[in-house]
Chains A and B, each alone.
Chain A
Amino acid sequence: MPIQLLPPEVADKIAAGEVVERPASVVKELVENAIDAGARQIRIEVREGGRRLIRVTDDGVGIPPDELPLAFARHATSKLRTLEDLQHIRTLGFRGEALASIAAVSHLTMMTCQVGSSSGSLIHLEGGAQVRRSEVGMPPGTVVTVAHLFYNVPARLKFLKAPATEAGHIHRVVMHYAMAFPEISFNLKLDERVVLQTSGNGSLYDVLLELLGAETCRQLLALPEDNSSFSSAQVSGYVSAPSLHHAQRDHIILFVNRRCVQDRLLSTAVVQAYYTLLPTGRYPVAVINVMVDPAEVDVNVHPAKSEVKFREPQEMFRVVQQAVRSTLLAKTTPFQITTHLEGNVSTPTSPAAEREWRELSHFGFEVQRTLSVDEETESPDTRLPMLRVLGQMALTYVIAEGPDGLYLIDQHAAHERVLFEEMKCQYAAAAVPTQQLLFPVLLELTPGQAAILEAERTTLSQLGFELEHFGSDTYRLHAVPEVLASSDPATALRDILADLAESGALLARRADERVMTTVCKRAAIKAGQSLSLREMQELVRRLEQCEAPCTCPHGRPTMLHLSAAQLAREFGRI
C-alpha cells in the first residue's frame, strides 16, 4: 500500500479512540464541559451502561447559536487562545477535542440556550456529520444527549464490558467530580434510578456523607484548612483515622487543582503518612485536593488528563505527606482506644464507650490497640497482666487466660515485639549478640540492594551483620545477629534488604529502628509454626516483660482480648 494521508473520518475515529475509551470517558468530558460552563446543577442520565444513552444537563452559560457548529470541529475551544494560556490552565478542558471525538462515534444531540436569550438552538450530528439544526425553546443551559455510542466502531463496542460494569465506571467518575466540586449539585440516574445526589451546598463533608456513608465519615479526619505554611501548595480534604482501612488503594482519591488524577507519587505519600499506624497491606480512605499554581503542574500529559506532571514532585510528596501525617498525629490522640481502657486492659466502663468500641473492632471483641504513633505513646502502664497459656489455635494464635478474660495472641506479632524490645536494649548497650558463620556466605546483590546495604551498613554491622565488600555488588557475610542464627543467613539478609527497600524513604522511625524492625520481623516465629506449651509460656512470659506488648513494631495488634464480662454477655449469663 502506498503512503497516503488518512481520510478525515478515519483520522477522526482514531483520534476519538484516545479521548473516548468507554462510556465513562464520555461522561467525564461532558461533565467537565458543564463545570467549565459554570453550571450549578448537573444532571447525568445513563441507560444500559451508557451504550444506549448518555444525557448531561447543566444550567451553565450555554453556547451562542453562531458558535455551535464550530464547537464540534476538532481543536476548537473557548477555553484557550494562545500557547501561553496552556501554562496556566484553570479550566478542566482545554484541548478542544472532546465534543468532536464524541460526535465522531455516536449520534449526538446538543440543545443549548444562553442566559438571557429567548430561545435555544438544537444541533444533531451522526458520526460527526451535522444532520439537523433547529431552534428550540428551553431554559438556559446545555443538554447533550449521546445515543448509540460506538455504533460505527464495532471493535470498541465489542470491548465494552457488561452494562453494570460500565455503569460502575460512570458512577466512579461522577463521584469524583462531586467530591471535587461540592458547590455543584450532581444528580446521576442509571436506568431511571437515582444513584447519586449531592446538594451542592459547598461542603465536602456533606458530599462524603452522601457518597461514602455515615459509618465511614464518622472516622474521617479533616485536613487543616490552612497549611500554606508548608509551601505554595494547598492541601485540603479528609483522611481516615487509623481504625478504618481497606485492602485496596482505590479508596485514596486525589485531586490536583480539583482534577481527579491517578498519581502514584501522591498516593504513596498518603500511604506512607500512615506508616506504623496501619497494618502492612492495608490502605486508608482519603479524599484530598491539592491546589497548586497551574504553572507548577503540567496536565497536558495524557489525553484523558488522568495523569499530571509536577515541576517539583519531591516537594508535592513532602507537602501531602506532612499534611496527612500532622493531621493524624494531632487528631488521633483523643481517638486512642486506650483512653476508654485507662491505658490498661480493663473493659470499657460506660455503655456508650463500649458500643463505640465494638463498632471499631471487626470482631465485636475488645481489641487492645495502642496506636503507637510515636515512642511517647508507648506508655509503660500498658503492660500485660500475668497470663496462663491454654493452647494454640490454627498454628497461629496462642490462647491465654488472664485475670479478666481470654486473650488471643498472634504468635508472630508477639514474638516480633519481644525480639524488637530485646534488640533495642542490646543495641542501646551496643551488645547485640552475634554468631559467626562456619562458611562465609557470598552474597551477589542487585545494584539496588547493594545501595540499600551501603546506606544501612553501619546499623547492620552494629546489629551483628559482619559484612565484607567483595568487589562491585558482592559481599561476604561472616556473622549474623544471634536471633537470625536458626535461618539461612543469605536468605535472611536478602529478605531484610527487600523489606528495607519496600519501606524505603520512610519518615518517623529512626533509621536504625527501621532496620531492627525488619531484622525482628525476619527472626520471629512465623504463623503456621507449631509451638509446644513451654515455648508458648516462654513467649507470653517475655511478652509480659515488654513495654508495649499490645502492638507489634509495625503497628499491628499482637492480641485480642475477650473479657469475662463480654463472654458472660454473649452466653446470656447476665
Chain B
Amino acid sequence: MKISCLQENLARGLGIVGRAVASRSSLPVLSNVMLATDGGRLKLSATNLEIGISCWIGAKVSEEGAITVPARLLTEFVSSLPPEQIDLELSVRTQTLHLSCARFEANIKGIDAQEFPIVLTAEEGAPFVTVDPDELRQMIARVVFAAATDESRPILTGVLTAFEGDRLTMAAADGYRLSVEHITLEKAVPEKVEVIVPARALAELARISADQTEPIGIIITPARNQILFHLQDIDLVSQLIEGRFPDYRQIIPTSYTNRAILDVQSFLKATRVAHLFARDSANIVRLDINAGDELMPGRVTLMATSNQLGDNVGQLDATVDGEPIQIAFNAKYLIDVLSVISSAQVALDTISPSSPGVLRRPGDDRFVHVIMPMHLPR
C-alpha cells in the first residue's frame, strides 16, 4: 500500500471512526483502526463488535493494500502533524506502516488486515428509507437519554425504532421514564419494521452526522440483526438488540385532570435549584400545581427538602387547567427532559400523585415524555 492524503482529512476521518474503537478488549486488533485503499480513496474502519464505523477520505493511491494500526497512537500522531500532505507506505513483510509528513517520519507496527473483523458497509442500491439528518439528530437527542444504562435489562438499553407507513418512531425507557418521538418520512415504507437499536449507536450517529446535509439512508440487514446508517462518506453499522420492547403505548395516559403549561427555561432553572437540595434526599422534588383565579395567575411551586441541608421553595407562573395537585418527581429526570425540549413552552399533564406525569410540547403530538412519580408519605 502506498498512498498520499492531506493531514486534515486523515485527522478528521480518524476522529470519526475513533469512537468505535474498543477501549478495553481482549482482542488486540479491535483497538486498531483499519486503513485500506478502496476505489481511489482511503477507507478507515473501526469496530468494537457492537458498532462499527467506516469513513472514506480522498487520497492519491499509488499502490493498493490494507493494514491495521493502533488507533490511539495513529490518531494522536496524525493530529499533531502540520496541515500538509502525508505519505503512507506499508512494508508488507514487516507489517509496518511508514508515515512521512513535512519533516516528521514515523514507523508504526500494525496487525495484518486479514485479522480485522468485517465491518459492514452500504452496498450499491436504494436504502430502505432516507431521513433528514437534522430531524433524525434532534429526535435522537430527545429520546436516547431515557434509555437504561444498567446492563441488567438489555432491552431497555436500546431504542425501539419503528418504521410504519410514512412514520419513523423512536422510543426509549429505563423503567421509570419513557421518551417517544416520531417524524414523518418522505416516502412511506412498504412494510412495518420494528428494531431495537443500542442507544450508544444512536448517540454516535447523532455525533457523526453533525455536519451532514444529505439525507441519511437506513438499511436493515435481511437477517434483521444489524442496522446500517449510510451518510455521506461515512457508514455506521450497529448490532441490533434482540427481544421484545415493552408495549409503551399503553403506559402513556390518554387523559389528564390537570394541565400546567410552563416556560421551559424557567421550569428547568427552578428544577436545577431544587435539585441542589434534593440531591441528599433521593432527588425528590415536589410540585404543587394550583390553578389561579381571577386575580392570581396559575402557579407551580417546586419544593425540595434535605434533612441535613435545609429546604428550598421556587415558584413559577403557569397556565393551569384543572384541580390542584401535589406530585413528586425525581429532579434528575425532570432536568434531563427539560434540557432537550426545544420549544419555548411545555405542558405537564397529571392525573393523581401516583399516576404518571406526561410532558409534551403544546400543540405538537410528535413528542411525549412520561415520568413515573415518586412517593414521600408524610
- 8 Å CB contact of B175 from A430, A434, A439: A439
**B330 sits at the interface (CB 8 A):** yes
CA distance A263 to B173 in the complex (A): 51
Known: A430-B377, A482-B282, A486-B150. A435 touches B308 (CB 8 A): no
Residues of B within 8 A of A491 (CB): 152
Known: A433-B281, A491-B152. A485 touches B375 (CB 8 A): no
> Which residue from chain B places its CB closest to the CB of A486 in the assembled complex?
B150
**What's the nearest-Cβ distance from chain A to residue B171, in Å?**
11
Known: A485-B176, A488-B150, A488-B152. A436 touches B374 (CB 8 A): yes
Main secondary structure of the interface of B (DSSP, over half): loop
Q: Which of B175, B281, B330 has its CB near the most chain A CB atoms (within 10 A)? A: B175
**B133 sits at the interface (CB 8 A):** no
Q: Are A439 and B246 neighbours in the complex by a CB distance under 8 Å?
A: yes
Known: A488-B152, A488-B153. A464 touches B375 (CB 8 A): yes
Which B340-376 residues have a C-beta within 8 angstroms of A? 354, 356, 370, 372-376
> Which residue from chain A places its CB closest to the CB of B357 in the assembled complex?
A436
**B177 sits at the interface (CB 8 A):** yes
Q: Are B175 and A489 neighbours in the complex by a CB distance under 8 Å?
A: yes
**B99 sits at the interface (CB 8 A):** no
CA distance A433 to B152 in the complex (A): 23
Q: Are B308 and A438 neighbours in the complex by a CB distance under 8 Å?
A: no
- 8 Å CB contact of B177 from A434, A438, A545: A438
Q: Are A439 and B251 neighbours in the complex by a CB distance under 8 Å?
A: yes
Interface residues on B, range: 20 to 34
Q: Are B377 and A435 neighbours in the complex by a CB distance under 8 Å?
A: no
Residues of A within 8 A of B320 (CB): none
Q: Are A436 and B354 neighbours in the complex by a CB distance under 8 Å?
A: yes
Q: Are B173 and A434 neighbours in the complex by a CB distance under 8 Å?
A: no
**What's the nearest-Cβ distance from chain B to residue A534, in Å?**
11
Residues of A within 8 A of B318 (CB): none
CA distance A335 to B108 in the complex (A): 65
**A533 sits at the interface (CB 8 A):** no
Which B167-193 residues have a C-beta within 8 angstroms of A? 173-178
Q: Are A436 and B372 neighbours in the complex by a CB distance under 8 Å?
A: yes
**What's the nearest-Cβ distance from chain A to residue B245, in Å?**
10
Residues of A within 8 A of B354 (CB): 436
A262-301 interface code vs B (CB 8 A; 1 in, 0 out): 0000000000000000000000000000000000000000
**B24 sits at the interface (CB 8 A):** no
**A479 sits at the interface (CB 8 A):** yes
Residues of A within 8 A of B281 (CB): 433
CA distance A453 to B296 in the complex (A): 50
Residues of A within 8 A of B377 (CB): 430-432
Q: Are B372 and A437 neighbours in the complex by a CB distance under 8 Å?
A: yes
Q: Are B173 and A438 neighbours in the complex by a CB distance under 8 Å?
A: yes
Q: Which of B174, B176, B177 has its CB near the most chain A CB atoms (within 10 A)? A: B176
- 8 Å CB contact of A433 from B176, B178, B251, B282: B282
CA distance A482 to B377 in the complex (A): 13
- 8 Å CB contact of B308 from A479, A485, A489, A545: A545
B149-166 interface code vs A (CB 8 A; 1 in, 0 out): 010110000000000000
Residues of A within 8 A of B372 (CB): 435-438
B267-302 interface code vs A (CB 8 A; 1 in, 0 out): 000000000000001111000000000000000000
Which B312-358 residues have a C-beta within 8 angstroms of A? 330, 354, 356
Residues of B within 8 A of A437 (CB): 175-176, 372
Residues of B within 8 A of A434 (CB): 374-376
Residues of B within 8 A of A430 (CB): 377
CA distance A28 to B307 in the complex (A): 66
**B93 sits at the interface (CB 8 A):** no
**What's the nearest-Cβ distance from chain B to residue A231, in Å?**
45
Q: Are A487 and B150 neighbours in the complex by a CB distance under 8 Å?
A: yes
Known: A433-B284, A489-B175. A438 touches B150 (CB 8 A): no
> Which residue from chain B places its CB closest to the CB of A489 in the assembled complex?
B175
Main secondary structure of the interface of A (DSSP, over half): mixed
> Which residue from chain A places its CB closest to the CB of B373 in the assembled complex?
A436
CA distance A435 to B40 in the complex (A): 57
CA distance A438 to B245 in the complex (A): 13
Q: Are B152 and A435 neighbours in the complex by a CB distance under 8 Å?
A: no
- 8 Å CB contact of A438 from B178, B374, B376, B378: B178
Known: A436-B356, A545-B308. A431 touches B176 (CB 8 A): no
- 8 Å CB contact of B152 from A436, A487, A545: A487
> Which residue from chain A places its CB closest to the CB of B250 in the assembled complex?
A439
CA distance A438 to B370 in the complex (A): 8
Residues of A within 8 A of B373 (CB): 436
A405-437 interface code vs B (CB 8 A; 1 in, 0 out): 000000000000000000001000011111111
**What's the nearest-Cβ distance from chain A to residue B40, in Å?**
46
> Which residue from chain B places its CB closest to the CB of A433 in the assembled complex?
B282
CA distance A18 to B314 in the complex (A): 82
Q: Are B150 and A435 neighbours in the complex by a CB distance under 8 Å?
A: no
CA distance A486 to B156 in the complex (A): 13
Q: Are B374 and A433 neighbours in the complex by a CB distance under 8 Å?
A: yes
Q: Are A433 and B356 neighbours in the complex by a CB distance under 8 Å?
A: no
CA distance A483 to B374 in the complex (A): 12
Residues of B within 8 A of A433 (CB): 281-282, 284, 374-376
CA distance A436 to B352 in the complex (A): 13
**What's the nearest-Cβ distance from chain B to residue A266, in Å?**
40
Q: Which of A425, A435, A491 has its CB near the most chain B CB atoms (within 10 A)? A: A435
Residues of A within 8 A of B370 (CB): 438
> Which residue from chain B places its CB closest to the CB of A492 in the assembled complex?
B152
Q: Are A436 and B284 neighbours in the complex by a CB distance under 8 Å?
A: no
Residues of A within 8 A of B308 (CB): 545
B220-253 interface code vs A (CB 8 A; 1 in, 0 out): 0000000000000000000000000010000100
> Which residue from chain B places its CB closest to the CB of A425 in the assembled complex?
B307
**What's the nearest-Cβ distance from chain A to residue B52, in Å?**
27
CA distance A436 to B373 in the complex (A): 6
Q: Are A438 and B175 neighbours in the complex by a CB distance under 8 Å?
A: yes
Q: Which of A430, A436, A479, A485 has its CB near the most chain B CB atoms (within 10 A)? A: A436
Q: Are A479 and B150 neighbours in the complex by a CB distance under 8 Å?
A: no
**What's the nearest-Cβ distance from chain B to residue A509, in Å?**
24
A37-52 interface code vs B (CB 8 A; 1 in, 0 out): 0000000000000000
A62-94 interface code vs B (CB 8 A; 1 in, 0 out): 000000000000000000000000000000000
CA distance A247 to B153 in the complex (A): 35
Q: Are B152 and A438 neighbours in the complex by a CB distance under 8 Å?
A: no
A437-480 interface code vs B (CB 8 A; 1 in, 0 out): 11100000000000000000000000010000000000000010
Residues of B within 8 A of A545 (CB): 308
> Which residue from chain A places its CB closest to the CB of B308 in the assembled complex?
A545
Q: Are B378 and A431 neighbours in the complex by a CB distance under 8 Å?
A: yes
CA distance A487 to B378 in the complex (A): 26
Residues of B within 8 A of A439 (CB): 173, 175, 246, 251
Known: A486-B150, A487-B152. A436 touches B173 (CB 8 A): no
Residues of A within 8 A of B152 (CB): 487-488, 491
Residues of A within 8 A of B251 (CB): 438-439
**What's the nearest-Cβ distance from chain A to residue B276, in Å?**
14
A486-510 interface code vs B (CB 8 A; 1 in, 0 out): 1111010000000000000000000
CA distance A488 to B149 in the complex (A): 11
Residues of A within 8 A of B307 (CB): 425
Residues of B within 8 A of A435 (CB): 176, 330, 372, 374-375
**What's the nearest-Cβ distance from chain A to residue B81, in Å?**
34
**What's the nearest-Cβ distance from chain B to residue A469, in Å?**
18
Which A294-341 residues have a C-beta within 8 angstroms of B? none
**What's the nearest-Cβ distance from chain B to residue A442, in Å?**
11
Extra inter-chain contacts (5) besides given A435-B375, A439-B173, A464-B375, CB under 8 Å: A431-B376, A433-B374, A487-B152, A488-B150, A488-B153
In the assembled complex, 6 residue pairs joining A and B whose CB atoms fall closer than 8 Å, in A order, are: A433-B375, A434-B374, A436-B374, A437-B175, A438-B174, A488-B153
Residue numbers of A with Cβ under 8 A of B are: 425, 430-439, 464, 479, 482-483, 485-489, 491, 545
Q: Which 8 A-B pairs have the closest CB atoms?
A: A436-B372, A488-B152, A482-B282, A433-B282, A434-B375, A439-B246, A433-B376, A435-B374
